[in-house]
Amino acid sequence: MSSDKEKRVKKSKKEKKEKKEKKEKKEKKEKKEKRSASPTSSEPSTKKQKPTSSSSTGPTVTLLLFYQYIEPLWSPSRHKQALSHIQKTGELYNLGGRMRCAREGLNCTITGDREGVENWIKDLKSFDDTFLKTEFKLTHNLPLGQSFPKLNAFKVDEIVNYGLSGSRAPSIGKTAIHLEPKEYNEKMKEKDTVIIDVRNYYESQIGAFKPPIGGAELIDPKMRKSTEFPAWLDLQETKERIKGKNVLMYCTGGVRCERASALLRGKLEGEDRGLGVKGVFQLQGGIHKYIEEFPEGGLWSGKNYTFDKRFAHAGLSLEKEGKVEVVGKCEACLKPWDRFRGKRRCPTCGVPSLICKECVDRDESGDKKIGKDVKCKLCVEEGVESKADWKRREEELMNGYEEKLKVKEREKKRTEKDSRNSENTDTPSTSNDVANSEEANDITANVTTPDSNPNNETRLWIGNLNNKKVTPDNLIQIIPNIKFVQWLYGPDGKGCKGFCFVEMKSEEDAGRAKAGEGVKVFGRPVKINYQEKDGKSSWPPPNAIYY
């Protein structure tokens, strides 16, 4: 019994001790909270405040949009300084938003009070005088709900992700001619002109330019992301559509057109100089500036999709009068709709879904769920059936373009090497240099009469190739006047399978190549057959390599 009594006494003491400690801890916490509620420090609070302005109607927000490319590129250390500067000064002025900072420049969407935003701009100009020429697009007196709660400065390779960083980036010194909105508006009325929408397809679903009848032709590349643009621009179909035309480009604020137009101009001055494009132009300040100068709409139809808290907007006059044309449609019920809301994305390709409020409400309540069969308009048009199907299509397009780039880069290196060798006459050429080897001979060199080509075929099957020595680089030397080749790699992803398909520039060129059949190249007699188009396979294929 005494044992039980001792246990009870010990337990009672322990409970009293714990109760006392708990009480002391609570009192200590209350005292601490009381002290923090009445600070005696003379230092100012660093806690971020809501944006304010002197507006008599209450606090408002200023929105800043801008981009600026830097040439020559910032050094790695200067890039680091720039990233630190924009982050620290942004925090100093209580700004929110997103800042993409690359060695090639800045691309920013920022909100804050008017004074803070304007002071931040002054500091940026002092940091680097390149920004003295920057076009800063400011929108004042927006509601507080359109402010960004946090500031995020990101270190990136490109201020717009085209997959063209480093040596692949076209020079910004070769961008298009920049036209102010009124000049651009007149240019859209001209014939023999095409307009390329450089934005993503889902953005164009709620608004786009609508050129007049007899004027320019609008071309939508139907991209899901900007990295697809270089590959689209390289397609033969695209080249045919811009051939002999004036090319206009536009995007939301202008930044995407800078690299896009520089890429096009670079191609027109090089491999595509024969297209005869008359000129390349872009809209200065983008749709944002055009809508400001044409508040009643001009040749713009619908709304401008934005990446800030406005989400989308139209001309001020149209919005005030409630006359904005709704050009988009709900992907679920197909009723007119132009507001991207919620987190739903296309179940096959992942772009934002355009779903009306009624369908969203019914889905959330369980009344009528939005199934996986509800896809974006582009996936419906293209017949994309699943994520795997979309992934396969994307890889075909991008891998084909990537291979073309590698071929061009190899050709460039070889040309530079040849140039260095020609400058040094004492440097002997090597027998292992396949591109310059006498074995990579022109099989049509001794052809006087083209072979019979009764069906006027231009597509050829080329076989019995030396799979270790024949490459896309030297194939054009072996068989001249190839337009493009479908190169078939070996099982290791290198060399070739020993055969390929080519499209010749003309029926006569195909006949001349056929007449050269049997000539030995790298010790093997080349075999050639006319290849009739069966209408089943895609031709030209997505991975075609053009010469």
Q: How far is CA 276 from the centre of its chain?
A: 26
Closest residue by Cα to residue 254 from 167, 352, 136: 136
Query: How far, CA to CA in Å, does 483 sit from each of 44, 403, 510?
Result: 70, 16, 11
Closest residue by Cα to residue 172 from 272, 242, 277, 102: 102
DSSP 228: G
**Number of other residues whose CB lies within 10 A of the CB of residue 146:** 16
Residue 393 and residue 384 in contact, taking contact as beta carbons nearer than 8 Å: yes
Quote the strand ranges of 136-295, DSSP E.
137-142, 151-155, 177-179, 193-197, 207-209, 217-219, 246-250, 279-283
**CA–CA dist 478, 497 (Å, integer):** 17
Quote the strand ranges of 368-436, DSSP E.
none
Q: Own/partner pairs for 318-327, CB < 8 Å, 24+ apart?
A: 325/297, 325/301, 326/302, 327/205, 327/206, 327/207, 327/208, 327/301, 327/302
Terminal-to-terminal C-alpha distance of the chain: 103
Q: Which two tokens stand for residue 12?
A: 């009672």
User: Which member of 101, 108, 251, 346 is catalytic?
Assistant: 251
Q: Output the DSSP codes for 83-113.
A: HHHHHHHHHHTT-EEEEEEETTEEEEEEEE-
504 forms beta bridges with 482
Which secondary-structure segment (H or E) carries 67? strand 61-69
Q: Which two tokens stand for residue 14?
A: 């322990």
Q: Which two tokens stand for residue 446?
A: 């001794």
Provide the total of helices (H) and of strands (E) in the chain, helices listed first: 15, 21
DSSP 528: E
Q: Is 300 exposed, middle or buried (0-12, 13-18, 19+ CB in 10 A)?
A: buried
251 catalytic? Reply is yes
Q: Which residues are catalytic?
A: 251
